[in-house]
Amino acid sequence: MSKFKKKKGGDLPAISTASLPDIVFMLLFFFMVATVMRDSTLMVKNQLPAADQIQKLDKKDRVMYIYAGEPSSRYTEKYGSQPRIQLNDKFATVSEVGAFVLSERASKRQELQNVLTTALKVDGDTKMGLISDIKQELRKVNALKINYTTRVGDYSQNID
């Protein structure tokens, strides 16, 4: 008649996994809400330069994107390694920028057509010549609000 009777069985009770679905659902909803689907696949190298005096870009429906940079490795064979412009899902020449902007503008709602911003996502190693050409084309179609998309960082990262 010992007072200190051994408790029956030394093994741990099974951990209830009933709340697992709840936790997973919570994570799921977080990612569903936070996700922004990419609408075009990048075909160019896109290492953005760094800047720290930046402003947030407008809402997504008021922005059109122009990418530029060296074609990424799987396209270099076909398109060479000279920096190129990418509009939506294909490579384009400078002269196509104007038409692209006009068609993008036409596809937006009436009240947004005057407040559109053009975001230039250009690889840091591109030469300014190409960018000046793009800017010239944008001026021709009166798309004057632009944004040089950068990543957050100190300017000194740009100088090597």
Q: Please, which residues have CB within 8 angstroms of residue 136's CB and are 6 or more apart in sequence? A: none
Q: How far is the CB of 11 from another protein (least distance, A)?
A: 23
Assess 119 for contact with another protein (CB under 8 A): yes
Amino acid (one-letter) located at 22? D
CB nearer to another protein: pick between 114 and 155 = 155
Residues numbered 48-107 forming contacts with another protein, rule: CB under 8 A:
48-57, 59-60, 63
* Site stretch for another protein (CB under 8 A), options 28-36, 73-81, 90-98, 102-110: 28-36
Least distance from another protein to the Cβ atom of residue 104, Å: 16
Q: What is the DSSP-derived secondary structure letter of residue 141? A: T
Min dist CB 153 to another protein, Å, is 10
Q: How far apart are CA 131 and CA 122, in angstroms?
A: 8
Of the listed pieces 5-13, 73-81, 98-106, 152-160, which binds another protein according to CB under 8 A?
152-160
Rounded-to-integer distance, Cα 84 and Cα 98, Å: 15
Q: Which of 143, 70, 131 is nearest to 100 (CA)?
A: 143
